[in-house]
Amino acid sequence: MTLLQARGLVKSYGPTPALRGVDLEVAEGEILAVTGPSGCGKSTLLHCLSGILRPDAGEVLYGGQRLDTRSEADRSRLRRTDFGVLFQFGQLVPELTAAENVALPLLLAGQGRREARAAALTWLERLDVADVADARPGEMSGGQQQRCAAARALVTEPRVLFADEPTGALDALAGERLLACLTRTAHERHTSIVLITHDASVAAYADREITLRDGAVDPTGLGADIAPAPTGGRR
């Protein structure tokens, strides 16, 4: 069943077009990769889908209901309850331990301390970082920090996780470990993921991939890097 849908999304920043009529659907529990070269509109699309930005034209439907026409307050409430966001840099609070960082969204939502900590520990386990529960970000590797940030994005049990280049700051091994944990958890819990990446090896973790080129979905479905590099390598 379709959970999230975009129809004819158009968005410009002043004279700069970023999206020029994007249609897409994300099914419940589906991991959709959005690939494409720098500047093709990936982040803008994510911001429109998650209700951070309002498109200039077109519509976003979540659970069959218009999202883009709701008020700012309504959209931010929905982001807190139904959506999770993971960026390239996890942006953990440096003064707090891993467990405290992950518990934070639950405490802000009014949950009790003991319950929030228990849930945080469960999520740290799911993301394979239970061993650093009491460490602060400065004492963790980049990969551990990012898996902890993923736990924090998922602790509220969102129906959609929006991830914008979540492995962008990690080496290949740490990236694979994050993606393995994320995709396993998403499939187990039926969480949809919109996974933005410019990296074909990251997109390979998704159930399906679409490619944006100049603000529109490439109908051939082939990435921007289909033209072989002069050396014959992929990039």
Q: Which residues bind ligand ATP (CB under 6 A)?
A: 13, 16, 18, 36, 38-44, 198
**Smallest distance from ligand ATP to CB 16, Å:** 5
Q: Judge whether 149 and 90 are in contact, CB under 8 Å.
A: yes
Closer residue to ligand ATP, CB minimum distance, 11 or 177: 11
Q: Position 137: which residue type?
A: P
Under the binding rule (CB under 5 A), the answer on residue 144 touching Mg ion is no
Exposed, middle or buried, 221 (CB in 10 Å: 0-12/13-18/19+)?
Answer: exposed
Angle CA(197)–CA(199)–CA(204) in degrees, nearest 5? 90
Sheet holding 208-213, edge to edge: 83-86, 160-164, 192-196, 31-35, 208-213, 216-217
The pattern of x and - marking residues 14 through 43 that bind Mg ion according to CB under 5 A reads ----------------------------xx
Q: 44 contacts which partner out of Mg ion, ligand ATP, none, CB within 5 to 8 A by kind?
A: ligand ATP
**Smallest distance from ligand ATP to CB 196, Å:** 7
Q: 41 contacts which partner out of ligand ATP, Mg ion, none, CB within 5 to 8 A by kind?
A: ligand ATP
Q: In angstroms, rounded to a whole number, what is the distance separating the alpha carbons of residues 43 and 35? A: 10
Residues near Mg ion (CB under 5 A): 42-43
